[in-house]
């Protein structure tokens, strides 16, 4: 499959059962890819500076997710800052901007003024998004969303210098961002990635992933579609494989969080009933902590341990190294799932 092939989430056909009461087990941490020095750019409020002569300058839209080359991205635009950014890139004809990963507040909002100092940083390699479609949806959404925008992820960009870092701290009285960041960047040249179905790392990767797929069926957890290992996995780039793995792992974390929350809610309601036998079920439900309700609805906060290895793959230039790093992540998850299965069997025998 050529490099221009676009990955879309529906090919995964993820199954996400909600009403299972078995709590997912957290069994320590798997080995992570090493963190390299200089991977993060710390951001502090500072006066704006002029761009260097002949520098490539692009708008920067930090988000708490990773967008992979060769895939598509769809976003809802709310903040005045990014409404202006889209208006500007349409007017200029560029249609390009950078999305680097950053940490965020619960719920995904990036508000540096409200965030701890240690979270105010951008990963040094971001994704180059190219705007392909913009729809004005203010009337349909009651002004909650201004634009729904679609993009192709064209490649990767290295952030060199932030020109107006204070933009990430500035908000209006309602907490909406009012200015967007610009940066000097280097657009990374990418060698066309030839997909070699029989590369040793790819065969081992798909074999390990298929074993994990079978275990996920037993746990009734999210998993890729059955044809993934025949039609998709052997023929797509490491970028698209990484995108599929990221989507699967996010769905798995949501699913496990829902299962844990369901068990916790059941225990909470049982305790409420024991304390006051006359309390109605509706009244007890109203006392369930909001955090549990958010988890039940599918809201999950993913830690830096989740994103760090994926970011290191994004920053890796070698196709083979990316494949091997992704293989390591899959094998770590496979080991974890095998341990969970062994514990489940041991508990069922008691």
C-alpha distances in Å from residue 312, one per residue of 34, 116, 174, 284: 8, 23, 36, 45
The mean predicted confidence, pLDDT, of the chain is 87
Mean pLDDT of 206-229: 95
Q: Residue 297: which pLDDT band, with cuts at 50, 70 and 90?
A: confident
Q: What is the mean pLDDT of residues 109-123?
A: 96
Separation of alpha carbons 253 and 279, rounded Å: 33
221-251 residue pLDDT tens: 999 999 999 999 999 999 999 999 999 999 9
> 306 burial class (0-12, 13-18, 19+ CB within 10 angstroms)?
middle
Q: 275-300: string of b/e by CB count within 10 Å (b at 16+)?
A: eeeeeeeeebeeebeeebebbbeebb
Mean pLDDT computed over 55-81: 97
Stretch(es) of the chain classified as CATH 2.30.130.40: 46-187
Rounded Cα distance, 345 and 132, in Å: 50
Say what the pLDDT of residue 194 is.
64
| pLDDT score, position 196 | 67
pTM of the predicted structure, to 2 decimals: 0.85
Q: Which residue has the higher pLDDT, 39 or 29?
A: 39
pLDDT at 175 over 70: yes
The CATH class that applies to domain 46-187 reads mainly beta
Three-state DSSP class for residue 128? strand
Nearest C-alpha neighbor of 134 from the set 119, 145, 122, 120: 145
Alpha-carbon distances of 238 from 33, 153, 200, 242, rounded to whole Å = 16, 14, 14, 6
Kindly tell me if the per-residue pLDDT of 25 is higher than 90: no
């Amino acid at each position: 499959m050529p490099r221009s092939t676009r990955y879309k989430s529906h090919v995964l056909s993820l199954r996400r059962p909600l009403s299972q009461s078995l709590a997912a087990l957290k069994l320590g941490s798997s080995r992570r890819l090493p963190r390299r020095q200089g991977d993060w750019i710390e951001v502090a409020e500072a006066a704006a500076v002029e761009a260097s002569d002949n520098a490539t300058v692009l708008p920067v839209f930090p988000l708490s997710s990773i967008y992979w080359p060769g895939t598509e991205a769809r976003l809802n635009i709310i903040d005045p800052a990014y409404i202006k950014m889209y208006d500007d890139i349409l007017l200029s004809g560029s249609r390009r901007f950078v999305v680097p990963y950053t940490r965020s507040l619960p719920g995904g909002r990036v508000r540096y003024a409200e965030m701890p100092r240690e979270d105010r940083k951008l990963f040094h390699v971001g994704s180059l998004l190219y705007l392909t479609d913009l729809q004005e949806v203010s009337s349909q959404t009651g002004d909650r969303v201004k634009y729904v925008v679609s993009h192709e992820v064209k490649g990767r960009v290295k952030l060199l210098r932030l020109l107006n870092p204070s933009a990430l701290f500035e908000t209006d009285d309602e907490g909406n961002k009012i200015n967007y960041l610009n940066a000097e960047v280097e657009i990374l040249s990418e060698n066309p990635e030839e997909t070699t179905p029989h590369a040793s790392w790819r065969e081992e990767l798909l074999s390990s992933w298929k074993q994990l797929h079978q275990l996920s069926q037993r746990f009734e957890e999210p998993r890729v579609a059955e044809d993934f290992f025949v039609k998709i996995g052997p023929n797509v780039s490491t970028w698209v494989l990484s995108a599929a793995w990221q989507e699967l792992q996010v769905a798995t974390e949501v699913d496990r969080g829902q299962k844990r929350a369901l068990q916790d809610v059941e225990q909470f309601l049982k305790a409420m009933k024991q304390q006051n036998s006359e309390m109605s079920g509706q009244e007890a439900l109203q006392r369930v902590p909001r955090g549990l309700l958010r988890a039940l609805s599918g809201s999950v906060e993913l830690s830096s341990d989740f994103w760090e290895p994926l970011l290191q793959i994004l920053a890796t230039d070698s196709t083979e190294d990316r494949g091997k790093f992704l293989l390591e992540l899959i094998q770590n998850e496979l080991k974890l799932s095998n341990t969970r299965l062994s514990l489940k069997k041991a508990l069922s025998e008691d």
